[in-house]
A and B are shown apart, each in its own frame.
Chain A
Amino acid sequence: MSVVSRAFESPLLIFAAALTLRLVLFFYGIYQDAHSALKYTDIDYFVFTDAARAVSRGSSPYARATYRYTPLLAWILLPTSWSAKDGLWFHSGKALFAVSDIVAGWLIYRLLAKQGMTRQRALRYASVWLLNPMVANISTRGSSEGLLCAMVMATLYAFETRRILLAGALLGLSVHFKIYPFIYGVSMFWALKSKPAPAPNFADLKSISTLLNKARVQLLVSSLAIFTGLNLSMYSIYGHPFVEHTFLYHFTRTDHRHNFSLYNTLLYFSSADPSINPSIISAERLAFLPQIFLSCILLSLLPSTTCALPTTLLAQTLAFVTFNKVCTSQYFLWYLIFLPLYLPHSSLMQDWKRGVSALGAWIAGQAAWLGFGFRHEFLGRSAWLGLWGSSALFFLINCWLLGIVVQDGGGFARSKLEELSVVAKEEPEHGKLVR
């Protein structure tokens, strides 16, 4: 026990452990790929590397079917085309993804330390990400989410250290990579207040001049500049296929293959026969309304005091994924990255029964779905009702968890505000700023 707690006093040891875990998985993956027809490497990794190969031959990454990412990803992975598929260079992308997720872990650790946490406590929470076998597994199998998570965490780090131009630029890059981080822009925008006030202060909305301040303008300009700049340059090189596969596809996709999303059965029905869906408010077309309203508008209004932003971002992401029309396990990483920053202030840690039941329910929801999915996908039994039922269960569990996160975020902000009100009483000059 004491050995373990002493281990958490040394960042070197924890990061060495995180690196070792990934190295072991990385080389094990190479071994399994060479010796088994069942590949350790993720199917998506073959998509990225085929696209990188296409680029290395001077053609478009979109020559590879199902490549639905920015060309930047294929460019970054160009070294994977320097060897055949059994060569070491081929696997270099996985190393990059694994290093990225360690970088994300390091940023988490720095953010926790910045909050005034002891080194040991910060390392413990950072280990929820760094030593998480699920995270290490996803990265070393070659899923690009590790890279994306590093970008998102870098955005948050830059933001929390008040480097707003950099935060905006990183945000623009993240949105160019995967669209969904645009929801973070909204809460970051509100968090940049000129003075202590609720977010948004409705007085802000009276005119543009009160809505905007220097920091908000910096965030807007730098994020839009990078996002637009990247899109225009990619469009000028790859033309319509870039827009089609990177962006439009995600708006028109109605994945018929079953996935965790609650909407899946409905989408299957309506894709199979558009005419059997006569209702005017065809539900699946309106699905983005609750999703965007919650993740982009309502949750961005959560009390935003110092250190509360990660919890807001977690709530936004959880809502975005839960209410999305398509949902696969890789999406879970999008919100898991914020977990180490949220847990220290969470009722899930203070009340262990609550914590265990939350984790248990989240896992049980997935397990139920995966069980029916296996029956359906591999045993060929009709398990649609079970799949629908477990999607519904998983949806409700996620809503419950979202409620907890929201409540914890609010509670944390409340305690901060109460601290502030003590300060405010002692410092009456604050009064000058208020109407």
Chain B
Amino acid sequence: MRRRSTFIPPKEVDYDPSEIRITEGSLSFAGLQAAREERLTFGLNELPAEIVDVLQRSHELHVRWATERAYDKSSPYLSSISPGLHVSYTPLSDRNNDKLCPLLHRIFSESLRCVSPEISFSRPDILSERFASAAALQYYSLLPSLEKLVTWIQEHVCPPSGVGCRHNAALLNSASYVDIDYDSISHALTFAAFWSEPPTTTMGMVEGWQTYNNWNILVDPSPSDRNEVGILKASPGSEAAQIEMEGILTVVGEDNSPKPTRFFFPSRHHALSTKQDHDQSYTVSFDEPTGLHPTMRIRFPAATVLQEPASKAADSTCALHAYLTLPSTIFADEYAFPTTDIDPPFTEAHNIVSLRSLSGERDLEAPDYVIHKWGSAMLLELATPTSAQQIDTSWDVTIPLHLRYLKPTSGGKQHIEIPWPVVFWACTADEGTKFTVNPFDRINLAYDGLFGPRTMFYHLEPQPVANQKMLEAIDVPVLDTNVMTSSMAELLTLLLVTSGFLWVTWKVSREISWEWNWWSRTDARKGKAVTAEETKKSN
């Protein structure tokens, strides 16, 4: 196993390297207030058999989870995904991998709507042929916490005596996001977790210190493991795409003291400048009343400041996008959005330029209970204010959506939740820029696969109302089984149809019988006449 721990203290905090205690086989420090990323890399032989079993059938597997709470980003950990569990997956050949869903159930939640990749996963659009890293299949589910994963790690990964391991696993409960990556070329599984800040209380791993809002760390790897600990700060590099990192690095067991370091790399994901970052936040809500055709409203507080990133390269072009991850209960009608044609009235009404991609369950009629896919993913290019529109009001994007019918329940309401979309500027990078694999790169975020390889993402920050989650809830009206049961509906319908049927039948038979009577009377009359005629003839 290889482990890399990275701490990013806030800009204003200067960390004194002498606080770090380094012995022959361990490193410890306490009282560090910082964002933190842990990245653990395992060989297949270090993993539980049930994991290996799934990985050996995978060409690539990427699991992303993000918290429902808004968190502060720290450069270079700037990318965003909607809260919940995202899986990108390419099976190895077409062999079915029916073990993936059961594994996800065991590790994350029994209630995931996941039968098998073939049935439950969707196939994302391929808009950019050259972007080879996009996985073939996509899956998403709401997942409020990683409790089950924590328990699973504690039971299946941690050694029986591993107090530290169990403690570290429990830290995942306060993580901002978790990434799990595997591909069949490296044959290695990477597990990464990011915390935007230290947990409120950290159990004393270092000589029993208990710290509050601070990290305290004890790293004492077994001889076969390699551990690297860095305390770094990021700043914009000399070129638009670059991020520069500066700080100290220590390889535990090798270095006697922290080594100063400084390096830079081109990054796909960026923040807006501090000023713009503050101005260009967004909130998400549904217009009331939501009805069965809710309108999602993405609101930017001020139209005047909704402008391209100030730090973009000089000749770079940018467009504002929103990427929606819609659970199966809600969907968009692809035909209601302009795709290639421009539709000025639509753009003016909704502040949406076009639907760039919609994949997943696109059925416009099916109720939620008959479909098997997880839902759908949607990339929209948003309109930005023209200079004439840059008035001092909010800039609202409205996305017309529809709810699927849900099952009848007692009470007549079903509560559903929809994650907030991510919103970003997608900008072209300089001609020569190559986003080579770097230690802080984060790819396979679903939406990045819909853009060309030289695209930079400048993320806008969601601003939920204090302590609110980045989820919108809707109470969907369904048939109330307390008011009407299935057998009641059946009985009443049968009764009405029978009455209507009998009424009409009675009416018709009255008319028909009259006509038949008339004809038989006429026939009889005519029959008499004929008989009379025949009698006459025979005489």
The residues of A with any CB-CB pair to B shorter than 8 Å are: 33-37, 43, 46-47, 50, 65-66, 84-86, 197-198, 255-257, 262-263, 265-266, 268-273, 276-277, 279, 283-284, 287, 290, 293-294, 298-299, 301-303, 319, 322-323, 376-385, 388, 392, 395-396, 399-400, 402-403, 406-407, 409-410, 413-414, 417, 421, 424, 428, 430-432, 434-435
Contact = CB atoms under 8 A, between A and B. Distances in A.
B178 to A, nearest CB: 35
A392 B492 contact: yes
Interface stretch (B166-174, B232-240, B405-413): B405-413
A396 B500 contact: yes
A384 B412 CA distance: 9
Nearest to B413: A382
Interface stretch (B150-158, B243-251, B346-354): B346-354
Contacts of A271: 367, 369-370
B292 A276 contact: no
A185 B370 CA distance: 37
A407 B507 contact: yes
Contacts of A65: 335, 362-364
B490 A35 contact: no
B290 A380 contact: yes
Contact of A298 (B345, B483, B508, B518): B508
Question: Interface size class for chain B?
Answer: 35 or more
24 contacts: A35-B345, A85-B341, A86-B341, A197-B519, A198-B516, A256-B366, A266-B489, A268-B408, A269-B486, A270-B486, A279-B490, A301-B512, A319-B504, A376-B291, A376-B477, A377-B291, A378-B293, A380-B292, A382-B412, A382-B480, A399-B503, A417-B515, A417-B518, A431-B530
B536 interface: no
Secondary structure at chain B's binding surface: helix, strand, loop or mixed? helix
B484 interface: yes
A396 B499 CA distance: 9
A414 B517 CA distance: 11
A421 B526 CA distance: 11
Interface in B377-411: 405, 407-408
Contact of B484 (A35, A283, A384): A384
Contacts of A380: 289-292, 474-477
B501 interface: yes
Contacts of B516: 198
Given A298-B505, A323-B501, 7 more contacts: A290-B500, A302-B511, A378-B289, A380-B474, A388-B492, A399-B500, A432-B530
Contacts of A198: 512, 515-516, 519
B94 interface: no
A290 B526 CA distance: 38
Interface in B183-220: none
Nearest to B480: A382
A303 B512 contact: yes
Interface in B131-190: none
Nearest to B521: A421
Contacts of B478: 382, 384
Interface string B490-528: 101110110111011101111110111011001100110
B522 A421 contact: yes
Contacts of B345: 33-37
Contact of A283 (B494, B500, B512): B494
B151 to A, nearest CB: 33
A262 B489 CA distance: 10
B523 A435 contact: yes
Nearest to B516: A198
A287 B501 CA distance: 11
Given A266-B489, A434-B527, A424 B515 contact: no
Contacts of A262: 493, 496-497
Contacts of B490: 266, 269, 277, 279, 283
B348 A37 contact: yes
A406 B507 contact: yes
Interface string B335-348: 10000010101101
Contacts of A290: 497, 500-501
